[in-house]
Amino acid sequence: MTDDRIPTSISVASEIEKEYKQLEESDAWNQVYQRIRSEGTFNLPCTAAKSSVNKNLNRYRDVLPYDHTRIVLSGTNTNFINASLVKVESVNRSYILTQGPLPQTSPHFWLMVWQQKVKGIIMLNKVIEKNQIKCHQYWPVGNSDGGDNTMAVSSVGLQVDLVSMDRHSHYNYSTLRLTENASGDSRTILHFHYTTWPDFGVPQSPEAFYKFLNVVRASGVLEPDVGPSVVHCSAGIGRSGTFCLVDTVLMMISKGLCDSGPGKVIEVLLDMRKQRMGLIQTPDQLRFSYQAIVYGANRLSEVNGKDPCEESSSEEPSLAEDLPPQPPPRTDSLTRSMIESQLAKELDGEGSETGPDDNEDYDDLSKDDDTMPPLPDEPNAESSGQDSSPPTSPNHSNSLSNNSTVRRRKAHAARRETTASKVKEMVEKQRANEKWQEKKRAKVGDEEERDTSQEVVKRARV
């Protein structure tokens, strides 16, 4: 950013901050958000997404990619994936916004990453939230977490290897290697997993989110000389839309491309909604977007971010000093993908076709942000169907049939109880790890700003 643009950036930031304060004082966020929903809902064709052959490839029946911006796959049994290319040409930004992969769409996800020459994946949700699976475990868990370092995606001729993974206070940063089996060619994929977005609402402060954004920026995965970055949450519209809106508007401000008048943030959002439906899903997400933009704009004179590979022990205590809770032994562990597979087998149906009810990430439908239903309290249809009716003839054959039905019910109930226990165990381990993360953040809170300032000075001198 050149010096002559700093005054313009400051004036634009001041105008956005003024607009934010006006909305805050008048408590008008819901009113403005309803206007966005009204003006930003477009009747554009989604023919491919609505095709009967692609129905089970959509996580939610009402979150669909438009035909004119959908990513088209090649070389596989389908050319469809629920993913949209969102471009902001004025700042040379391109994002692929997509749903959290399902088990049956994970191969398509990796094929898209390969074919679109993606360098970075930005994940904004946890695999499990509110005791429900929000996203398939589509990348290797790693030996240290009771999984494997390698994941074969044989149906599309690819393999994913976990090279390294670093845990930080608000995110995990992984280096993956994606290899095409036929040619032997491989590429490095950077995976940024923001782990502290609450189950409901938005992050408590824009500061941590802004730092995460800068780490992503510093890696180069958002630059125009590489393929578009993949950004996803569960539906690929709420948290994902927030991330892209904040990044885009801050880029516009830094390049002097924002008008000083009010309404610029909403204008950008409405334009992005023409490329993927429903971006920004709640008034709180809209409010947080303004907060993050104001916070970031006020810091435009600072160096953008850190090299994620260098954000190390100077900011955070050694992991050896205070290790997080360890995963169970490999023989006792149940990986997230195993849980998802077991739930799919044991519970009714293939998942809800209604939208999510998580107000945080899919307010338009007011349903849960994952198609996998919660564990039922009552036996499902599989164990309460025809076989449960009294026999018409009390003969020996019917008696055996009833005994068989009772055994199936008991076995089914036992499987459900085991699955529920495993899900509870994973949730408890996730919460324990989050408590450890909070403890670690408390230790480094006083040191972080000092280290950041020193890093800025060092980079400025270089």
Active site residues: 233
- The verdict on whether residue 34 carries a ligand-binding annotation is no
- The verdict on whether residue 281 carries a ligand-binding annotation is yes
SS (H, E, C) the chain: CCHHHHHHHHHHHHHHHHHHHHHHHCCCHHHHHHHHHHHCCCCCCCHHHHCHHHHHHCCCCCCCCCCCCEEECCCCCCCEEEEEEEEEHHHCEEEEEECCCCCCCHHHHHHHHHHCCCCEEEECCCCEECCEECCCCCCCCCHHHCCCCEEEEHHHCEEEEEEEEEECCCEEEEEEEEEECCCCCEEEEEEEEECCCCCCCCCCCHHHHHHHHHHHHHHCCCCCCCCCEEEECCCCCCHHHHHHHHHHHHHHHHCCCCCCCCCHHHHHHHHHHCCCCCCCCCHHHHHHHHHHHHHHHCCCCCCCCCCCCCCCCCCCCCCCCCCCCCCCCCCCCCCHHHHHHHHHHHCCCCCCCCCCECCCCCCCCCECCCCCCCCCCCCCHHHCCHHHCCCCCCCHHHHHHHHHHHHHHHHHHHHHHHHHHHHHHHHHHHHHHHHHHHHHHHHHHHHHHHHHHHHHHHHHHC
- The verdict on whether residue 199 carries a ligand-binding annotation is yes
- The verdict on whether residue 236 carries a ligand-binding annotation is yes
- The verdict on whether residue 184 carries a ligand-binding annotation is no
- The verdict on whether residue 40 carries a ligand-binding annotation is no
- The verdict on whether residue 81 carries a ligand-binding annotation is no
- The verdict on whether residue 326 carries a ligand-binding annotation is no
- The verdict on whether residue 244 carries a ligand-binding annotation is no
Which residues participate in the annotated binding site for substrate? 199, 233-239, 281
Which residues participate in the annotated binding site? 199, 233-239, 281
